Amino acid sequence: MNSGIASSGETHRRGARAGQPVRSTCPYCGVGCGIQVRTAAAGPEIAGDPSHPANQGRLCVKGAALGQTLVPEGRLLTPRVDGEDVPWPTAIAAVADRLRQARAQHGPGSVAFYLSGQLLTEDYYVANKLAKGFLGTPHVDTNSRLCMSSAVAAHKRAFGEDVVPGCYEDVELADLVVLAGSNAAWAHPVLFQRMQGSARTGRKVVLIDPRRTATADLADLHLPLRPGTDTCLFNGLLVWLADHGALDTDYLANHCSGLDDALACARADAPSLAAVARTCDLPEDDLRRFYTWFARTPRTVTAFSQGINQSVAGTDKGNAIINVHLATGRVGRPGAGPLSLTGQPNAMGGREVGGLANTLAAHLDYDTPGARDAVARFWGSPGLADGPGLKAVDLFEAVQRGDIQVLWIAGTNPAVSLPDSDRVRDALRRCPTVIVSDCVANTDTSALADIQLPAAAWGEKDGTVTNSERCLSRQRGFLPLPGEARPDWWMFQAVAQALGHGAAFRFADSAAVFREHAALTGVAAQLGRALDLSALADLSGADYQRLSPIRWPVRRNPSGVAGTDRLFGDGHFATPDGRARLVPVRVRDALPEPAVAAAGETVLTVNTGRYRDQWHTMTRTGLAPSLLAHRGQPMIDMHPEDARRTGLTDGALAVLRRPDARPGGRNPSEAAQVVAPVRITTAQRPGEVFVPIHWSRRFSGSALASELMTRLTDPVSGQPDSKRGLARVAPLATDWQARLLRHREAGPWQAGQWPANNGVLAYHCRQPLAHSDSWWLAGRGTPDWAELAGELLGGTPQLVLSDTAAGRFRAVRMAGPSVVAVLLVEPPAGLLPETAWLDGCLGGEALADEQRRWLLAGAAPDGPDPGPVVCSCHQVGRNEILAAMDEGCDTVQSLGARLRCGTQCGSCLPELRALLAGEAETAG
C-alpha cells in the first residue's frame, strides 16, 4: 500500500536532478497562480510560470516567498494515537475501529468530516466518497463554507448550478470594473495586477467597500457604504436601470424569469436614489455617478468576494449583483459578467466533488432528479447518504451537543477560524474522538486531537486544483515525502480498505483518483450539469503528468481536448427550463441589538479580513520572517473620532469584548475578547473597527478575531457573518511594555511560563525574525526585572541597564562574543527600539567591542532606522522611502530605481503612492 507513495517521491527527486523546472501551483488564494520550481543548493527557487493563464508569470509577495516556508520546523512526521507515536497500520486501525464503533452504536450520522480548500481535488474526492458513499454520513463540510458558500448558493439560485460564467480576461476587457466587498490588492494581488496592467483611457473602476483599502488606489470612485447595505445598493441599481430604459428587454424575454418579482422587491427597498443614499450612508451624487456608469457600459464586470459573502444575507447580496447583470444581458460575454473571487486555492475543486454538506457529488444535489441513484450506482455504494448534512457552524454545534462521536478534520484549523472560537474548542474537547490530518504538529486544533495523521504538505502534494475562473491546474510535487507523511487521499483510502471497502478504493495514485472524478462528472453532465471533465477520464499517467491548465467544461475536438472560457453566453442556463432566474431579495441584514456600554466603553461594529502578506492562520506564512515585516502584529484599525471618544492613541493597546462577554462567566464565549495595538486611520468609517483574521494562539494569546464573531449565519448558504460583529472597546491599562528577542538555539519561550508572582502579562504576540524569535509583551504590576530577566532570556544576562525611576530596563545574554537573547523594557508611553539591528546581532556572528557597547541602547549609532517595512520583497522601510523622497524621488518609478521597492510583486505600490501623495496610509 505504501509502494506508490515511495515511487511518487522518487519521481519528484528524478525531476529535480534533471534540472528541469517543475510546474506547479501556488497554495494561497483562489487566483490559482502557476509557479516554476527549480532546486538549488540553498533550497527550491520559486518563480511565476509565464505559461500559466492565471498569472502569466506574475507572483505576489506571498507566492514569491514560498521558498522561505519550505522548512522542517513544526512538521508532524509520525502518526499519533492518544498522544503516542505509532506506525501507520496501528493508526489506520484505530481510525477504522472508532468509525466502526460510532456507526454501530450511534448510526452513520454520528460521524462527520470537516475538510479544507487547501486539499487537492483528489483528496476531497476520496474523502467525500468514503463519507457519503460508504460510511453513509451526509456530514461532510469544509472551511470553504466560511468564505464562498453564499456565492455558491447565489449561483445555484440564478443559474441552476454553481458556475462562475466568466474568466480573468474579462476584468482586462471590461470598460467598467466594479469591485464589491473585495480588497483585491491584498487578497487577490495578481488579479489586481492584471487590472492595473489593463488600465486605459475611458476604463472606470468602482470600489464598494466600507473601508478605503489599498484597492482604492485603482478606483475612480469609492463608495464607502454602511456595512450590510449592499443589497439595497444593488436593488437601487436595478430600479435605476428599469427607470432609465437600460434593461435588455429582449434578453430578459428570451432567457430569464423573475424580473417582475425582483423589481417589485427592489422598489420596496430602494424606491428612490435618495432612499438608497440614506440607507447606504452615501452621497447621492456618487450613487448617481455609479448607476450612470453601469447603465451606459455594456462591458461591465462585477467582481465580488468576502465582503459580500460573509454576511447573514450573503446569498441575497450575491443575487442582487447577479440580478443587475441578467437584467442587462451581461453574463458570459467577453468583458461582462459577475465574477466571484474565491478565497482558497481549491475551494472550487472541493465544490466540484461535493465537499459541501448540502451537495452530493459532481455538482449534483440530493434533490437533483436521478442524482442519488446515479451516484450510488457509479460508486457501488452500499448505503449512500440520503439527504444534506450539517453545515459548518451547525456541525460544531452538534459536536458540542454530543451528536457527533467522531470528527475528522483535514487541513484546516477550525479552533481559530470558526466564529465563537472558544465554543468550538469546547466542542472539540467534548467530542469522544477528534482526528486531525495535517502537516503541522502543533495548531490550536491539533492540540485537541485524539488521533493525528501526518499529511503531505504543499510542495509534496500531487493532484489538481481549480481556481476562481474554473481553470483546472496540476499541483505537481517537487519534494519527497518526509518521515511518515502521506497524501490525504491515501489516508482516506487506507481507512476505507480497513473498513472492508477495498473493492471501491483501489487508487494506485492521484491520477487514478482524478480519472474516476472526471468520469463521474460525465454522469453529472448527462443529468444537465455544466461541470464536465469526462473528456479527461481516460488520461494515462503520463498524460496526467503533462496536463496543462484548462477551464471546464472540457470538450473533445479533432485535435484533442479544449476548455471553455465562458459559459451562458448563448443565454441557455443549467435550470430545468434553460432560463436564468432573477431572484427577489430584500434588505434583511440584521445584527443583534448592541449591549449598553459600560462606563468608559464604546460599542463599535467589527469587520475582519486579511493582511497583505499573511494567509489564514499563519501556519505557513508565519514561517517566513519577511512576510511578518510589513505587519508584525495584529492591529485594531480605528477612526480618529472613535479614538478620541475612547481615549486611545496610535499604538496604544485596546481591548475589544463581545457585548455579551462577561469575564469569568461560565459560558466559554463570555470571555471572548481581542487585545491588540490601535492603528488610527481615516480609512475606517466612524463607529467601526477592523481586525485581521490570521493570529492564532500560537502567535498571540488574545488576538483571535473569530472570538468576536457570533454564530449568526445566512439562512440559505449557512455562511457565518464575519464582517459585522459587535464589540465594546476600551483602553487596556498597562504599567510596562517590553520586547524580547531570543536566538532560536536558545530554545522556545511560551507566555504560559510567565511567573505568577511577577505581575500580570496582559498582552503578548510572537513575531519570528530572520535570526530570532521575538515577542511584544505588556502587563500590569511591577515585575522584578532583575530576577525575571534570567527566565525570559534563558540564562543569566551579562549586560544589564536598570533605570527604575524611568521605568526602563535592558538586559542582554551573551555566549562568548555572540548575542543569545535581548530584553528591552519601557513604560507604556515609551518608544521601544526597532529590532532590525538587534536581530542582526543575534545572527550568530561574533560582535566587535564597538557593537557590544550599543546593545543596551537597542540600535547602532550609525545607520538610520529603516522604519516599518513597506516593501516586503526587498525589505524597504518607510523611513528609507521618506528619505529618498526628500532627496528628490517623486515617482513610484524613481523610488523603485533607488530602493527597488515596488519592482517585484507590486503589492506595496498603493502604499508607495499614498506616501508620495502625502496621504495617511490606507487601511489595507
303-319: per-residue pLDDT in tens?
Answer: 999 999 999 999 999 99
Per-residue model confidence (pLDDT) at position 921? 58
Per-residue model confidence (pLDDT) at position 862? 66
Q: What is the pLDDT of residues 882-904, one digit of tens each?
A: 999 999 999 999 999 999 999 88
- CB count within 10 Å of CB 455 equals 26
Q: Using DSSP, how many helices (H) and how many strands (E) does the chain show?
A: 30, 36
Q: Which residues pair with 45 in a beta bridge?
A: 38
Long-range contacts of residues 645-648, Cβ cutoff 8 Å, at least 24 apart: 645/602, 646/600, 646/601, 646/602, 646/729, 646/730, 646/731, 647/600, 647/731, 648/678, 648/680, 648/729, 648/731
Q: How far is CA 408 from CA 17, 145, 176, 278, 479, in A?
A: 37, 16, 45, 47, 26
Do 454 and 486 contact (CB within 8 A), yes or no?
A: yes
Residue 518 pLDDT > 50:
yes
Q: What is the pLDDT of residues 576-611, one digit of tens each?
A: 999 999 999 998 755 444 444 555 567 899 999 999
Cell 481510525 sits on residue: 95
- All three cell numbers of 527: 443529468
Per-residue model confidence (pLDDT) at position 73? 83
Q: How far is CA 167 from CA 170, 182, 301, 334, in A?
A: 6, 17, 10, 9
Per-residue model confidence (pLDDT) at position 864? 66
Region 166-195: what's the mean pLDDT? 97
Q: Identify the CA nearest to 610 among candidates 310, 292, 372.
A: 310
Per-residue model confidence (pLDDT) at position 283? 98
Residue 118's pLDDT band, with cuts at 50, 70 and 90, is very high
Query: Whole-angstrom Cα distance, residue 686 to residue 605?
Result: 9
Residue 5 pLDDT > 50:
no
- All three cell numbers of 375: 451516484
Maximum distance among all Cα pairs of the chain, rounded to whole angstroms:
85
Given 1.20.1270.10, 3.40.50.740, 3.40.50.300, 3.10.620.30, which CATH number is that of 80-146+346-463+484-511?
3.40.50.740
Q: What is the pLDDT of residues 700-710, one digit of tens each?
A: 988 999 999 98
Residue 9 pLDDT > 70:
no
**Residue 662, by phi and psi: left (phi above 0), alpha (psi -120 to 50) or beta?**
beta
Residue 324 pLDDT > 90:
yes
Query: Whole-angstrom Cα distance, residue 693 to residue 418?
Result: 10
Which residue type, as a one-letter code, is found at position 856?
Answer: L
Do 735 and 828 contact (CB within 8 A), yes or no?
A: yes
Residue 2 pLDDT > 50:
no
| 3-69 carries CATH number 3.40.640.10 | no
Cα–Cα–Cα angle for 145, 147, 148, rounded to 5 degrees: 75
Three-state DSSP class for 342?
coil
Region 153-163: what's the mean pLDDT? 98
Q: What is the pLDDT of residues 534-563, one digit of tens each?
A: 999 999 999 999 999 999 999 998 888 999
Q: DSSP secondary structure string, 76-143?
A: --S-EETTEE--HHHHHHHHHHHHHHHHHHH-GGGEEEEE-TTS-HHHHHHHHIIIIIII----EEEG
Residue 4 pLDDT > 50:
no
Q: Identify the CA nearest to 347 among candidates 719, 821, 85.
A: 719
Question: Which CATH class for the 602-731 domain?
Answer: mainly beta
Do 154 and 127 contact (CB within 8 A), yes or no?
A: no
Per-residue model confidence (pLDDT) at position 669? 40
Q: What is the mean pLDDT of the chain?
A: 92
Residue 252 pLDDT > 50:
yes
Q: What is the pLDDT of residues 48-71, one digit of tens each?
A: 999 999 999 999 999 999 999 998
Region 391-398: what's the mean pLDDT? 98
Q: What is the pLDDT of residues 412-445, one digit of tens each?
A: 999 999 999 999 999 999 999 999 999 999 999 9
Residue 660's pLDDT band, with cuts at 50, 70 and 90, is confident
Query: Whole-angstrom Cα distance, residue 45 to residue 65?
Result: 9
Query: Whole-angstrom Cα distance, residue 721 to residue 711?
Result: 8
Do 286 and 303 contact (CB within 8 A), yes or no?
A: no
Query: Whole-angstrom Cα distance, residue 562 to residue 415?
Result: 42
Its CATH architecture, for the domain 149-340, is: 3-Layer(aba) Sandwich (3.40)
Query: Whole-angstrom Cα distance, residue 540 to residue 426?
Result: 47
> Hey, do 3-69 and 80-146+346-463+484-511 end up sharing a CATH topology, with the first three levels equal?
no
Per-domain residue ranges for the chain?
A: 3-69, 80-146+346-463+484-511, 149-340, 602-731, 736-852, 869-916
Region 656-682: what's the mean pLDDT? 74
Do 146 and 720 contact (CB within 8 A), yes or no?
A: yes
Do 116 and 143 contact (CB within 8 A), yes or no?
A: yes
Region 385-408: what's the mean pLDDT? 97
- CB count within 10 Å of CB 381 equals 18
Q: What is the pLDDT of residues 683-735, one digit of tens each?
A: 999 999 999 999 998 899 889 999 999 889 999 999 999 998 899 999 999 99
Q: What is the CA radius of gyration of the chain?
A: 27
Per-residue model confidence (pLDDT) at position 849? 79
Cα–Cα–Cα angle for 868, 872, 874, rounded to 5 degrees: 105
Q: How far is CA 341 from CA 302, 474, 625, 672, in A?
A: 10, 20, 28, 31
Pairing mode, strands 555-557 and 560-562:
antiparallel
CATH dotted code for 869-916: 1.10.10.1100
Per-residue model confidence (pLDDT) at position 676? 96
The residue with greater pLDDT, 62 or 661, is: 62
- All three cell numbers of 566: 465562458
Q: What is the dihedral of CA 646, 648, 653, 654, to 10 degrees?
A: 20
The residue with greater pLDDT, 869 or 845, is: 869
Per-residue model confidence (pLDDT) at position 596? 47
Query: Whole-angstrom Cα distance, residue 419 to residue 427?
Result: 13
Runs of H (alpha helix) within 345-420:
347-353, 371-379, 392-401, 414-417
Residues in the chain: 924
Per-residue model confidence (pLDDT) at position 412? 96
Per-residue model confidence (pLDDT) at position 6? 33
Do 864 and 837 contact (CB within 8 A), yes or no?
A: no
Per-residue model confidence (pLDDT) at position 920? 53
- CB count within 10 Å of CB 634 equals 24
Per-residue model confidence (pLDDT) at position 868? 86
Query: Whole-angstrom Cα distance, residue 893 to residue 399?
Result: 55
Per-residue model confidence (pLDDT) at position 236? 98
Per-residue model confidence (pLDDT) at position 861? 67
Query: Whole-angstrom Cα distance, residue 355 to residue 352?
Result: 7
Residue 909 pLDDT > 80:
yes
Query: Whole-angstrom Cα distance, residue 158 to residue 179?
Result: 20
Burial state string for 501-538 with b = 16 or more CB within 10 A and e = fewer than 16: beebbebebbbbbbbbbbbbbbbbbeebbbbbbbbbbe
Pairing mode, strands 760-768 and 772-780:
antiparallel
Residue 627's pLDDT band, with cuts at 50, 70 and 90, is very high
Per-residue model confidence (pLDDT) at position 292? 98
Per-residue model confidence (pLDDT) at position 98? 98
Q: Identify the CA nearest to 683 among candidates 215, 191, 195.
A: 215
Pairing mode, strands 406-410 and 433-438:
parallel
Lowest pLDDT segment from 119-128, 535-544, 785-794: 785-794
